[in-house]
Amino acid sequence: MIPVLEAVGIRKSFGGVRALRGVSFEVCAGEVHALVGENGAGKSTLIKIFAGALQPDEGEIRLEGTPIEHLTPAKSKSLGIAVIYQQPALFPDLTVSENIALAHEPPTAFRRIDWRKRNEHAATLLSRVGADMLPQAYVSSLSMPEQQLVEIAKAVDAEARLVIMDEPTASLGDRDAENLFRIVDELRKSGAAVIYISHRFEELFALADRVTVLRDGESMGTFPMAEMTNRDLVRLMVGREMEAVFPERNCTIGEPVLEVRHLSCVSRGVHDVSFVLRRGEVLGLAGLVGSGRTQFAETLFGLSRADGGSIAVGGKAVRIESPQQALALGLAYVPEDRRRHGVIMDFPVSMNTTLASLERVSRGGFLDFTAEQRVAEEYRERFRVKAPSVDTPVRNLSGGNQQKVSLARWLMTEPRVLILDEPTQGIDIGAKHEIYMLIGELAARGIGIILISSELAEVLGMSDRIAVMHAGRLAGVLDRNHADAHMVMELALGHAAVSD
């Protein structure tokens, strides 16, 4: 059987970073082919190449045997490839019906639109994918899961022969996820090929026929799903036993440095979160994407206004209503979205490093440039940031080094509590390790650390305790000695609540 899509020897580099080093991949009609790998293993790059959004440096792509050159988004769409990204690429100001129509209508500029037909068509599609919104609803009024469903509707509408789904259940609840599985099954039965990327192995075991594992830009092989176990997959993904990566946790844990009681921020979906963080402790915060961890962290840090609950820092009750206040109290937050929030891309390393601690490199409100350079150099060396100089714009650094700069900035503030939100996302393994060691050092120095992470291995390996969030609430807190991936995942899925 000729595969619907076949890729041979795909190579792609960005700047100096090699994202894909000769990956070969194929998927057949009527197949659900899972694609797994760590963050940064190359999955996103590969599917962007299939979607025509990126051009490979080397390699060949064949669609049902015919080689394709110079794929563009429009071309891939016309060839019957549909992609559903993690972030819905919808027009917020247009209606659902129009979004669906724009996805597949050929652009005939001056033919009158038949809205009735469009709306009917959209309604049919929506019910087929199990969505219950009106076609005339504006996309900006829809929730993330609803938007995701619209994206799926678009793909179904396109009657694509290849549907690529990138973490489709990341923000879906149980019911919606079940719905999605049904759709995937339908697609498979109708003869389409499906590439399915997910971190949730149980989904893959249920849905996929075959699985390909990527690691550091290379394919580790393609296997029938039925013959694989969790452990097999993880070993292929990670390439080593998990525990060895993480530093030993054996430092003393002191008095409470942060006490959070019934913290809520309704507008952001955070409800009644309570816990205590101690000096020198690493508290992992696990949960599925969309479980409210970032929202909670941002509420804690003053980026969102809390509307219930109390916070005490170092034993003293406080109100945190702005990041400035949080900073003054000794909190630091390294955000998840590194490019937009973690660093200022066009500032050099030096200016990024000092941005939250300008008072330390200034006198009477006036900047001391020499001091700034000196401090920036110190931190650059300490964190081993790979950059030509501290004057290099951060935009030119690799993801890992950018993250180091972001960390350096917050560590310069000498915080008591450090909140890390997905600190190793999209970073190569070497840099990850450095960051793990650093976290260990910081804990040893008595800083209380909240580590938000979606990588189970990381959470389990680094934390003293693991808090798990589900749908904006704290589902449970586990001690490291009594926790395993299974328990964490159960809590994250909202199944059983295990108390500390």
Which residues contact other proteins (rule: CB under 8 A)? 15, 53, 73-74, 77, 89-94, 98, 102-103, 105, 107-113, 115, 138, 140-141, 267, 303, 322-324, 326-327, 333, 335, 340-348, 351, 355-356, 358-359, 362, 365-367, 388, 391-393, 395-396, 409
CB of 355 to other proteins, least distance (A): 5
Q: What is the rounded distance in angstroms from the CA atom of residue 265 to the CA atom of residue 299?
A: 7
**Token digits for 418?**
């450090």
Q: Up-side HSE of residue 237: CA atoms within 13 Å toward CB?
A: 23
CB count, 10 Å around CB of 180?
Answer: 23
Instruction: Give residue 459's region: left, alpha or beta (phi > 0; psi -120 to 50).
Output: alpha
Write down the number of H helices and E strands in the chain.
16, 22
Choice between 115 and 223, CB closer to other proteins: 115
Choice between 200 and 360, CB closer to other proteins: 360
**Token digits for 196?**
């399915």
Determine contact, residues 94/31, Cβ cutoff 8 Å. Answer: no
Pairing of strands 193-197, 162-166: parallel
Determine contact, residues 186/23, Cβ cutoff 8 Å. Answer: no
Q: In angstroms, what CA-CA distances link 452 with 189, 353, 434? A: 39, 22, 17
Q: What is the rounded distance in angstroms from the CA atom of residue 275 to the CA atom of residue 266?
A: 18
Q: What is the rounded distance in angstroms from the CA atom of residue 479 to the CA atom of residue 456?
A: 14
Choice between 113 and 317, CB closer to other proteins: 113
Choice between 65 and 106, CB closer to other proteins: 106
Please report which helix (H) or strand (E) contains residue 78, including its range.
helix 73-78
Determine contact, residues 296/270, Cβ cutoff 8 Å. Answer: yes
Choice between 247 and 393, CB closer to other proteins: 393
Q: Which amino acid is at 240?
A: R
Determine phi and psi for 128, rounding to 5 degrees.
Answer: -65, -35
CB of 140 to other proteins, least distance (A): 7
CB of 482 to other proteins, least distance (A): 35
Q: Which residues contact 200 (CB under 8 A, 6 or more apart)?
A: 169
CB of 22 to other proteins, least distance (A): 24
Choice between 155 and 475, CB closer to other proteins: 155
The beta strands (E) that lie in 379-421 are given as 417-421
CB of 366 to other proteins, least distance (A): 5
Choice between 61 and 334, CB closer to other proteins: 334
Choice between 230 and 324, CB closer to other proteins: 324
Q: What is the rounded distance in angstroms from the CA atom of residue 314 to the CA atom of residue 182?
A: 51
Q: What is the rounded distance in angstroms from the CA atom of residue 63 to the CA atom of residue 466?
A: 46
CB of 208 to other proteins, least distance (A): 27
CB of 416 to other proteins, least distance (A): 15
* Closest residue by Cα to residue 459 from 492, 427, 430: 492
Q: Up-side HSE of residue 476: CA atoms within 13 Å toward CB?
A: 19
Helix runs in 260-354, H state only: 293-300, 323-328, 349-354
Determine contact, residues 237/41, Cβ cutoff 8 Å. Answer: yes
Choice between 69 and 93, CB closer to other proteins: 93
Choice between 58 and 114, CB closer to other proteins: 114
DSSP 8-class letter at 105: S
Beta-bridged to residue 317, according to DSSP, are 312
Q: What is the rounded distance in angstroms from the CA atom of residue 49 to the CA atom of residue 141?
A: 31
CB of 132 to other proteins, least distance (A): 18
CB of 141 to other proteins, least distance (A): 8
CB of 345 to other proteins, least distance (A): 7
Choice between 274 and 396, CB closer to other proteins: 396
CB of 496 to other proteins, least distance (A): 34
CB of 255 to other proteins, least distance (A): 26
Choice between 281 and 298, CB closer to other proteins: 298
